[in-house]
């Protein structure tokens, strides 16, 4: 297993001086050197071939003892220095102080095909940033992160990636529901991969401590490597940097809304400076379309991170980033202007995204109204978002009277649709049909376009849970199957059509399928 190393992060940024995993406050440093925990009986559960290839590795490499050792934390690859990153953050709207990689350990940075990748273990033991945690991860949450991050990548959504999933052979104590019933679960390590894991919180840490020297060093590093088009550092460059992060963040959230992904914990420490979806915890996928839905039981009271609030929270988080960057800019106006623009740009991008979901190419003034009325219809009775949009692509121009039948599989209780609800839908289909008359695409061309943005397969909450239940009993066949189907989420894949279905009733209130805590 050979790599082309280029360890810019540790070479160009200030570190804590000691190699020490003990919990502590760390000052004037972006990272601390640490040693991963040696697992008792590491076992490879799954490898992402696409990620393997992207790193220039082969399946033979993945089968090697060295792969097992390095990506389980058992052995440190020669001449590398694993490290945990220091960051802070706002959690659920409150300042939380120093957080940091409490259970993530960055192994090294490589370049392959001119792309830079940081390779990181999640769940490989305590670091200076572990606070009350043990630095470990369980199989349940590791499967969720592994499957979902790769699924998001194949959906074309900016995200961190996963290379491998390993069992550690150690048991980990978790109180899954935070109800006092702690139990042992299988420990696991996911190897995550991203161009960088820098978060808004890395900037907030230095800003909160008025460490402007290191704030500048970190910002310059980030621009130099990830936003090189912005050029040499200056006040103007920092403003443009904030603009670029804002636009990447907006793009990411639009993608989430397009596919019905709810992150669940949009704290500023979980916001990537590259606009990548990061830290897959109690995330979930919309089944019944519902702006108010959140999968996270820890957030059940306020529902701060509910589906419909994700754009507002992205803006709130960007405001915290603006505050953190302010000492480098010392002017509020340009930052405020960018934040102002976010809302109007979101509106514009959101309409553009919805147009694509509806197969509309032309822009028309009434489109927004058509979309709003569709959302009203979707809320009349529990309607599966993924099924609805995929089935809508079968709509035939001039045949609006059959439309309700076409989408009827997306209703959770089609037999209970009242006459009033039916007629509201029929009116909408009539208007949609009318609107389609101004479009030049024929039915099959429109279907092809719509199927590029409306996935047929997403990682429904109960699907991940089925993979977890089987894996807990040593059966990885469901995991394998889901990994395969989610590699081509927009393709028909008839052999997998059982996954193109509503959530089964048994999953409605089952833990892991409809509700998740942060316990992982």
Q: Is residue 267 a contact point for ligand AMP (CB under 6 A)?
A: yes
Among the residue ranges 128-136, 298-306, 336-344, 388-396, the one whose residues contact ligand AMP (CB under 6 A): 128-136
User: Does 134 participate in binding ligand AMP (rule CB under 6 A)?
Assistant: yes
Residue 299 makes contact with ligand AMP by CB under 6 A? no
Q: Are 155 and 149 in contact (CB under 8 A)?
A: no
Using the rule CB under 5 A, is 101 a contact of Mg ion?
Answer: no
CA separation for the pair 400, 423 (Å, rounded): 12
Nearest-5° angle of CA 310, CA 316, CA 322? 135
Check residue 512 for interaction with ligand AMP (CB under 6 A): no
Total residues belonging to the chain: 520
Residues in 290-349 at the binding interface with Mg ion, rule: CB under 5 A? none
- Choose which of 185, 279, 287, 299 interacts with ligand AMP (CB under 6 A): 279
CB-wise, 126 or 279, nearer to Mg ion?
279
Q: Is 126 in the site for Mg ion (CB under 5 A)?
A: no
279 belongs to the binding site for Mg ion (CB under 5 A): yes
Quick check: 69 and 126 in contact, CB under 8 A? no
Which residues have C-beta within 8 Å of that of residue 376, sequence separation ≥ 6? 424
Distances (CA, A) of 413 to 277, 354, 374, 470: 33, 25, 18, 29
Task: Specify whether the CB–CB gap between 280 and 165 falls below 8 A.
Answer: no
Stretch that binds ligand AMP, among 37-45, 51-59, 130-138, 380-388 (CB under 6 A): 130-138
Q: How far is the CB of 283 from Mg ion (least distance, A)?
A: 12
For 120, phi then psi, to 5°, come to: -135, 140
Q: Does 270 bind ligand AMP (CB under 6 A)?
A: yes
Vertex 356: Cα angle to 459 and 162 (nearest 5): 30
Look up 384 and say whether it is catalytic. Answer: no
Task: Give one DSSP letter per residue of 165-232, joined into a string.
Answer: EEEEEEEEEE-TTSSS--EEEEEEEEEEEES---BHHHHHHHHHTT-HHHHHHHHHHHHHHH-GGG-S
CB of 42 to Mg ion, least distance (A): 24
Q: Which of residues 253-272 bind Mg ion (CB under 5 A)?
A: 270
In the bound state, the residue with its beta carbon closest to ligand AMP is 133
Residue 376 beta carbon to ligand AMP: minimum distance, rounded to whole angstroms: 34
Nearer to Mg ion, 211 or 279 (CB): 279
Tell me the closest approach of the beta carbon of residue 269 to Mg ion, in angstroms: 5
Q: Work out how close the CB of 132 gets to ligand AMP at its nearest, in angstroms, rounded to a whole number.
A: 8
Distances (CA, A) of 486 to 133, 143, 160, 312, 398: 32, 14, 16, 29, 34
User: Do residues 157 and 37 touch, judged by C-beta distance below 8 A?
Assistant: no
Q: Are residues 122 and 189 in contact, defined by beta-carbon separation less than 8 angstroms?
A: yes
134 binds, among Mg ion, ligand AMP, none (CB under 5 to 8 A by kind): ligand AMP
Residues touching Mg ion, count (CB under 5 A): 2
Q: Which of these is catalytic: 101, 211, 220, 269? A: 269
Decide: is 264 part of the binding site for ligand AMP (CB under 6 A): no
Q: Does 98 bind Mg ion (CB under 5 A)?
A: no
Extract the tokens encoding 109.
């940075």
How far is residue 22's CA from residue 127's CA, in Å, rounded to a whole number?
6
User: Does the protein bind Mg ion through residue 204 (CB under 5 A)?
Assistant: no
105 and 121 in contact (C-beta within 8 Å)? Answer: yes
Q: From 46-54, 96-104, 158-166, 305-313, give the range in contact with ligand AMP by CB under 6 A.
A: 96-104
Of the pair 14, 133, the CB lying nearest Mg ion is at: 133
Residues 6 or more apart whose Cβ sits within 8 Å of residue 309? 291, 303
Q: Alpha carbon 130 to chain centroid distance? A: 22
* Among residues 42, 135, 275, 512, the one that binds ligand AMP under rule CB under 6 A: 135
130 binds, options Mg ion, ligand AMP, none, Cβ within 5 to 8 A by partner type: ligand AMP
Q: Is 133 in the site for ligand AMP (CB under 6 A)?
A: yes
Residues lying near Mg ion in the complex (CB under 5 A) are found at: 270, 279
Annotated active-site positions, please?
A: 269
Residues lying near ligand AMP in the complex (CB under 6 A) are found at: 99-103, 129-131, 133-136, 265, 267, 269-270, 279, 281, 518
């Amino acid at each position: 297993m050979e790599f082309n190393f280029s360890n810019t992060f540790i070479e160009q940024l200030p570190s804590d001086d000691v190699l020490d995993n003990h919990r502590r406050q760390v000052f004037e440093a972006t990272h601390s050197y640490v040693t991963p925990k040696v697992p008792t009986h590491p076992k490879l559960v799954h490898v992402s071939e696409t990620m393997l290839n992207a790193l220039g590795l082969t399946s033979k490499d993945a089968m090697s003892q060295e792969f097992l050792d390095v990506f389980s934390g058992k052995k440190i690859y020669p001449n590398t220095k694993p490290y945990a990153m220091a960051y802070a953050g706002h959690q659920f709207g409150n300042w939380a102080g120093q957080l940091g990689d409490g259970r993530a350990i960055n192994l090294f940075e490589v370049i392959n095909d001119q792309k830079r990748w940081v390779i990181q273990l999640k769940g490989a033991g305590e670091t200076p940033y572990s606070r009350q945690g043990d630095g470990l991860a369980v199989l349940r949450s590791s499967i969720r992160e592994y499957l979902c991050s790769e699924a998001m990548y194949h959906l074309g959504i900016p995200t961190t990636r996963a290379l491998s999933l390993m069992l550690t052979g150690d048991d980990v104590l978790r109180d899954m529901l935070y109800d006092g019933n702690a139990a042992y679960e299988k420990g696991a390590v996911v190897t995550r991969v991203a161009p960088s894991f820098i978060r808004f919180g890395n900037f907030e840490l230095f800003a909160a401590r008025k460490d402007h020297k290191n704030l500048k060093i970190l910002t310059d590093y980030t621009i130099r490597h990830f936003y090189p088009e912005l050029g040499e550092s200056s006040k103007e460059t920092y403003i443009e940097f904030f603009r670029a992060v804002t636009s990447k963040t907006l793009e990411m959230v639009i993608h989430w809304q397009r596919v019905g992904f709810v992150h669940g914990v949009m704290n500023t420490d979980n916001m990537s400076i590259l606009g990548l979806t990061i830290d897959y915890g109690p995330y979930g996928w919309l089944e019944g379309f519902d702006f108010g839905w959140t999968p996270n039981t820890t957030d059940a009271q306020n529902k701060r991170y509910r589906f419909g609030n994700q754009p507002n929270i992205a803006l709130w988080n960007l405001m915290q980033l603006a505050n953190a960057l302010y000492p480098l800019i010392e002017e509020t106006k340009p930052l405020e202007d960018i934040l102002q623009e976010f809302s109007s740009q979101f509106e514009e991008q959101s309409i553009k995204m919805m147009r694509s979901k509806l197969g509309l190419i032309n822009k028309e003034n009434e489109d927004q109204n058509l979309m709003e009325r569709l959302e009203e219809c979707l809320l009349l009775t529990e309607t599966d978002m993924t099924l609805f949009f995929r089935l809508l692509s079968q709509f035939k121009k001039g045949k609006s009277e059959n439309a309700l039948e076409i989408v009827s599989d997306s209703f959770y209780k089609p037999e209970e649709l009242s006459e009033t609800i039916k007629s509201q839908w029929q009116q909408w289909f009539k208007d949609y049909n009318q609107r389609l008359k101004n479009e030049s695409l024929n039915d099959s061309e429109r279907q092809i376009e719509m199927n590029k943005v409306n996935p047929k397969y997403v990682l429904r909450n109960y699907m991940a849970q089925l993979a977890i239940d089987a894996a807990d009993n040593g059966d990885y066949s469901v995991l394998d199957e889901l990994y395969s189907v989610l590699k081509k989420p927009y393709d028909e894949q008839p052999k997998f059509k059982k996954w193109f279905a509503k959530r089964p009733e048994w999953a409605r209130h089952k833990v892991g399928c409809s509700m998740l805590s942060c316990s992982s």
